[in-house]
Chains A and B, each alone.
Chain A
Amino acid sequence: MTDTKSPTRAKATAKQSGESAKLLREFYEQMVLIREFELRAGEMYAKARIGGYCHLNLGEEATVVGLTAALKPTDYLYTTYRDHGYALARGMEPGAVMAELFGKSTGVVGGRGGSMHMFDLAKRMMGGYGIVGGQIPPATGAAFAIQYRSKAGKDSEAVMCLLGDGTTNIGAFHESLNLAGLWDLPIVYVIMNNRLGMGTTVENASAEPDLYKRGSAYRIEGRRIDGDDPIAVRDAALEALEKARVKRRPSIIEAMSYRLKGHSVVDPARYRSKEDVELAQANDPVPAFRNRLLKAKALTEKDVDAIHMKVDEIVDAAVSFAETSPDPSPSELFERIYATPVANMPHSFPGDPVAVSA
């Protein structure tokens, strides 16, 4: 396996990458926002403000920020259920995202979806999906619609579809790759390889554990990148998106990362060794990127303090917005389900007599 986790990885400095200090600070700020938002979401879950499942992007901040930085506002993003960070990085309001977690009427989808189903059509955040890999055929279909409606070119729309390492073993992944390869669809499949599908390692799940190679049966090129380096992630995504726009060819990016915590908030992750956890913490992308920027003098300690203070305020405000927002009313239970009203739509609550007019 290509080792992208060695201590010598991500040696490129800010100066070498030629990025403006302003952009690097923005990247760092977004990473900190996701980190602090997720830590607070975990706390709110422990306080039972958040129900259901709750999967956090802790440890994946660099990938989230790098990928979303490569997207144009006109591109479509489909994600897994681990989607809070993507919602934030796509520009959705932190208060509305937190309110969705709280199940409030002010949530991004009015409390109908919760943690796994962040969605915003205007921002082309096309949803977090809870059925593993369920997003892959629809994301491929979004690329089909782009192909159907528009010509290839630098300004073309494109689709990015996130999936986890475990998802590369489902049929829908392979059927979708075949269709995207066959029909030259403008899509980038990003495999977030955090080395564990719940508790099962990639090696115990995939006969070809080099996941970026899994498109080879469909003549889809893939590459593995360091998911802990937001610049490397952004650059790989830009290149793949360009290929989607101009050549209308799909690609695979395998972003190597590691969850800092369990599969979900309630998972103590006892299946991980002490060494694994220590390695994850040593490679934590947020302090790593901070240190890199400090070293390159793209960031000062004062900047860091200011960013953390600003982010704390944003997250505090998000929590208090969510806390003080109204619950959705049960009287709206039957709304927003169908787009075209027809006769005899259901509207009975449990225990109501069967709905028949006399």
Chain B
Amino acid sequence: MSEMTYRQALNETLRTELKRDENVYLIGEEIGVFEGSYKITAGLLKEFGARRVVDTPIAEEGFTGVAIGSAMLGLRPVVEIMTINFSLIAIDQIVNHAAKMRAMFGGEVSVPIVIRTPGGGGQQLAATHSQNLEVWYAHIPGLKVVAPSNPADAKALLTASIRDDDPVLFLENLGLYNLKGEVPDGEQVGEIGKAKIARPGTDLTVISYSRGVVTALEVAEQFAAEGISIEVVDLCSLRPLDRDTFCASVRKTSRAVIFEDDLLSYGIGAEISATLGEAVFDWLDAPIRRVAAAEVPLPYAKPLELAAMPDGAALAKVIRETLAASGFTTGTAEGARNV
């Protein structure tokens, strides 16, 4: 085990995979000489040279498509799109091409490409640079979408994504890059399509992914002090979606709150909520609640930005309301009490 940041975990994984497989190369804007807008690729140009670490002009559609074409011939590009907002410029290549080629061409070709891109608000970057567009990609068959929440999973899932023969959207979050955590040494290959119990509990399930899991774990810790046991499910993958894990959790706790950075309507939480409503209706003791971003283009001014983004306070409030709605009482040392 070594302690490192999410950024370091990504950097080391890229280095390891570049060393392991000659077909792996990195491509994107400012990833070489500039060492990455968020320094994820620091040192890699120097170590591997311009053939393996390819700086591109500003041309998201062009270089993403180039990566896709090179993957059709067996290379394994890892594309960095500077932020998920700019992926919209490349979306024709991602959605109409990378996602479709294998099926549309009868399984004759695969597109082993990874697109790494960070989303997330909270940096006062205003409306066009603060979006969480994961649901745009999670909606599309033919893609795989992962959104790890901690350095260890970042390493394991990036390794798995690079070795996977299908197009994978690897979603990062600007707010996670400096997050520290223990990372197992040696080769770690994560399992795409599987969720995890990030914290076991018995009274209520919080389902989240990416940065939301960090907040959910903090909130769960606060509730533990009150004797309330919150289970946190980390989705890890958004496509395929591991319905079994969160449904099993909610069957156990009978209460569910979904905490997501994206927008409420048609969001990740909407899909989870619909699944729970259909699959575990009989187990539910309270309505399923969602905590998501306010539906506005994210403003610049800090008080407005904060007001729009889901945070721990909003999550804690909704957890309390959900517990109350089901007449939940704790059995602590001081005796049962209403929450």
Contact = CB atoms under 8 A, between A and B. Distances in A.
B199 interface: no
A141 B68 contact: yes
A73 interface: no
A119 B97 CA distance: 14
Given A121-B109, A127-B105, A342-B191, A137 B64 contact: yes
B244 A356 contact: yes
Given A141-B68, A144-B70, A344-B193, A339 B102 contact: yes
Of the candidates A134, A338, A354, the one having the most CB atoms from chain B within 10 angstroms of its own CB is A338
Contacts of B92: 131, 134, 172
Contacts of A141: 65-73
Interface stretch (A49-57, A110-118, A244-252, A269-277): A110-118
B128 interface: no
A336 B142 CA distance: 10
Closest 4 CB pairs of A and B: A137-B65, A141-B69, A109-B106, A175-B62
A343 interface: yes
A108 interface: yes
B240 A178 contact: no
Interface residues of A, number: 53
B56 interface: yes
Contact of A342 (B56, B62, B109, B164): B164
Interface of B: 25, 51, 56-57, 59, 61-75, 92-93, 96-97, 101-110, 112, 141-142, 144, 164-166, 191-194, 237, 240-244, 247, 274-275, 278-280
Interface string A346-357: 100000011111
A13 interface: no
A176 B65 contact: yes
Contacts of A134: 65, 92-93, 96-97
A354 B243 CA distance: 9
B100 to A, nearest CB: 9
A136 B165 CA distance: 22
A342 B237 CA distance: 11
Contact of A344 (B165, B166, B194): B194
B106 A108 contact: yes
Contacts of B73: 76, 141-142, 145-146
Contact of A354 (B51, B69, B71, B275): B275
A331 interface: no
Contacts of B59: 175, 178-179
A148 B105 contact: no
A114 to B, nearest CB: 9
Given A142-B73, A353-B278, A343 B194 contact: yes
Contacts of B97: 129, 131, 134, 137-138
13 contacts: A107-B106, A110-B107, A131-B97, A138-B69, A140-B69, A141-B73, A144-B70, A146-B73, A178-B62, A179-B56, A336-B102, A337-B107, A340-B166
A139 B69 contact: yes
B306 to A, nearest CB: 35
Contact of B70 (A142, A335, A353): A142
A303 B112 CA distance: 49
Contacts of A146: 73
Interface string A314-330: 00000000000000000
B60 to A, nearest CB: 8
Contact of A343 (B108, B112, B192): B192
A339 B165 contact: yes
Contacts of B63: 137, 175, 179
A109 B280 CA distance: 40
Given A138-B97, A145-B70, A179-B62, A343 B242 contact: yes
A133 to B, nearest CB: 9
Given A113-B105, A136-B65, A344-B193, 10 more contacts: A121-B109, A127-B101, A131-B92, A131-B96, A137-B93, A138-B69, A144-B69, A339-B112, A342-B191, A356-B279
Interface of A: 76, 107-113, 117, 119-121, 126-127, 129, 131, 134, 136-146, 148-149, 171-172, 175-176, 178-179, 182, 335-340, 342-346, 353-357
A129 B56 CA distance: 25
A119 B106 contact: yes
Nearest to A127: B105
B244 to A, nearest CB: 5
Contacts of B193: 342-345
Contacts of B64: 137
A144 B102 contact: no
A337 B239 CA distance: 13
Nearest to B63: A179
A251 B112 CA distance: 28
A179 B70 contact: no
B240 A137 contact: no
Nearest to B25: A148
Given A112-B105, A127-B101, A175-B61, A340 B164 contact: yes
Nearest to A187: B69
A148 B65 contact: no
Contacts of B275: 354, 356
Contacts of B71: 141
A336 B63 CA distance: 26
Contacts of A137: 61-66, 68-69, 93, 97
Contact of A338 (B65, B166, B280): B166
A119 B72 CA distance: 12
A296 B69 CA distance: 43
B69 A145 contact: yes
Contacts of B65: 134, 136-138, 140-141, 172, 176
Contacts of B107: 109-110, 112, 335-337, 339
A344 B68 contact: no
Of the candidates B67, B102, B107, B275, the one having the most CB atoms from chain A within 10 angstroms of its own CB is B107
Contacts of B62: 137, 140, 172, 175-176, 178-179
A126 B72 contact: yes
Nearest to A357: B244
